[in-house]
Amino acid sequence: MNWILNSIIFFASVAAMIFLVIKSSSHRKKQDEINKNFLEREEAANAVRKKEIDPHLFFEADLSHFPKISEDDPFQIIRCSKRVMIRFETPVTNLELKNLYGLSQMDLIAQYEENFNAYLKSLTQWAASLAEKNSGDALKIVEYVISLGGEFRDSYKIAADIYAKNGEQEKLDALTDAAEQNYFNDPSIRKQIIDYINMKEIA
């Protein structure tokens, strides 16, 4: 009887190994096909001729609705606001951008997008400084940054602190929704921000 049991175990092990080999091979083939498809699309996108950037993407800073900026402008807000900026209202991949505007425009687009982020960062730093002084203007600034999709944790923390202090649970809930949307592709940071907001929940 032992040899029968051993035989069953042996053949079951062999069958399991064969199944795993076939499954692994199938997965590898599927992954190779995905990689091949991606490389083909990438090659096609790299061959797209240069096209003008959509003028609707350009962002013009308006500082008129903010408090007066000090002459020394320690956060370089005015300087950042004068740079050429691009704002994408929805996430766009590099592949999509190359298909739209050509490979030769990618460095310029990246620079314009970096300028936009630098502008929002300077505003967030300014708001943090104002918040330390208990200035009500801090909230106005961070709400503006968040409304533009700014991915700066301090903006959310400042807003959460002020909403909690004012007993505004509805605004805390809306802030969570904004974090869910703006950090859709960054679950780790999204969780950190939402955890911080949740700690501020009003009993």
- pLDDT for position 25: 65
**Cβ–Cβ contacts within 10 Å for residue 56, how many?**
8
Q: Supply the pLDDT for residue 190.
A: 87
Where along the chain do its domains lie? 41-133, 151-203
- Model-wide pTM > 0.85: no
Task: Give residue 129's identity as a one-letter amino acid code.
Answer: S
For residues 189 and 183, is the Cβ–Cβ distance under 8 A? yes
- Rounded distance between C-alpha atoms, residue 63 and residue 125, angstroms: 15
Q: What is the pLDDT of residue 134?
A: 87
Residue 49, SS3 per DSSP: coil
pLDDT, residue 16, reads 67
- Per-residue pLDDT of the chain (203 residues), as tens digits, is 555 656 666 556 766 677 676 766 666 766 666 666 767 677 777 778 999 999 999 999 999 888 888 889 999 999 999 999 999 988 888 999 999 999 999 999 999 999 999 999 999 999 999 999 988 899 999 999 999 988 788 999 999 999 999 999 999 999 999 998 888 778 888 899 999 999 987 75
Per-residue burial over 107-135, b if 16 or more Cβ lie within 10 Å, else e, is eebeebbebbebbbbbbbbbbbebbeeee
The size of the chain, in residues, is 203
- Amino acid 131: pLDDT: 93
Q: Check if the beta carbon of residue 128 is closer than 8 Å to that of residue 138.
A: yes
CA torsion, ordered 76, 150, 192, 143, to nearest 10 deg: 90
